[in-house]
Amino acid sequence: MSNDSQLPLLAILSPCVGVCQLDPRGYCLGCYRTGDEIARWRGMSDAERSHYLNEVLPARESA
């Protein structure tokens, strides 16, 4: 018998792809985060990280 409420939650990982250089706008060329966002990433809630991964960073990438 399975108890899904006991499954471990997975942490939202960093979007870093190892290309760590900021463009003239201050966005990383690899993950599109600012230096401040990179520094704060580990302290962000899962909800905030999810917001960045699903909305903020894709919008920057397509701009």
Q: What is the pLDDT of residue 11?
A: 76
CA distance 5 to 50: 21
Angle at 54 (CA atoms; ends 53, 59), nearest 5 degrees = 90
Q: In this prediction, what percent of the chain has a pLDDT beyond 90?
A: 78
Question: In this model, does residue 2 exceed pLDDT 60?
Answer: no
Q: What is the pLDDT of residue 47?
A: 94
Average of per-residue pLDDT across 12-28: 94
